[in-house]
Chains A and B, each alone.
Chain A
C-alpha cells in the first residue's frame, strides 16, 4: 500500500514553460485535491475532484488546470509557469463525506517547484 504518491519530487522551470504534476492513490478514494503551500499561508486549495471525470475550482485556480481521467490519478498542469507559482504542491485524497462527517485527508509527500 503506497498511499498517495506524487511525481516529480522537485522541479525547476523557466518562466513560460509547462509541466504536469502527477498524483496517484491506491486507497480507492473518490475525492482528490491539489494544494499549494507557501510560508505563512497554510495550505490553499487549487482544484479538486469528487470522482472520476469531475473537477472543480478551489481557492486559487488561476494558472492551473487539472484532469481526473482515472479514479486513482489526478493531474495538475501548469500551461505557462510564472515565478508566482513557485511553491510546494501537495496532493491529497479521501473518501466522500457521509452524513456531514469529513474523513481524514491522506497527503502525498509534496513536489517542490521553482520557477525562475
Chain B
C-alpha cells in the first residue's frame, strides 16, 4: 500500500473550471512538497509547505497543509490548458529527512 494516496487519480475538466486534488496519509510528515510533471519530462517543484495549517498561493494555485500534517490539498482556480499534467505530492518524514515519499499522482487534463 502507498503511504500517500492522492485523489482523484484522473481529472478531466474544461478551461475555466475549478478543481481540488487531495493528498492523504495516516502518517505525519514534517513537510510536504507538490510537483508537476509534463509528458516526457521529469517533475518540477511547485511548492513546499512546512507548518500545519499553512496555506501557500502560487498565482491560481492554492496549497494547504493539514493541521495534523497528515494531508494536503491543491486547489486550482479557473483552470487553463497549461495546467495539464501529472500532479504529485511528496512528503518528508521527521525521522528520515534524506528522502521523499511520493504520492500516487493525479493526472489532470484541461480542455479548451
Contacts and interface: CB of A to CB of B under 8 A. Distances in A.
Contacts of B44: 107
Interface stretch (A14-22, A63-71, A72-80, A95-103): A95-103
A43 B99 CA distance: 12
A42 B31 contact: no
Given A100-B94, A102-B97, A92 B103 contact: no
Interface string B25-58: 0000011010000001111110010100000000
Nearest to A44: B102
From A43, A44, A100, A110, residue with most partner B Cβ within 10 Å: A43
A31 to B, nearest CB: 7
Nearest to A97: B97
A48 B44 CA distance: 19
24 contacts: A4-B42, A33-B99, A42-B2, A42-B6, A42-B104, A44-B102, A45-B102, A48-B98, A58-B99, A90-B42, A97-B92, A97-B97, A100-B30, A100-B97, A102-B33, A102-B48, A102-B92, A104-B45, A104-B48, A107-B42, A107-B43, A108-B42, A110-B41, A110-B42
Interface of B: 2, 4, 6, 9, 30-31, 33, 40-45, 48, 50, 88, 90, 92, 94, 97-105
Given A102-B31, A107-B44, 15 more contacts: A31-B98, A40-B9, A42-B2, A42-B6, A42-B102, A42-B103, A44-B102, A58-B99, A90-B42, A97-B92, A100-B30, A102-B33, A105-B100, A107-B43, A109-B42
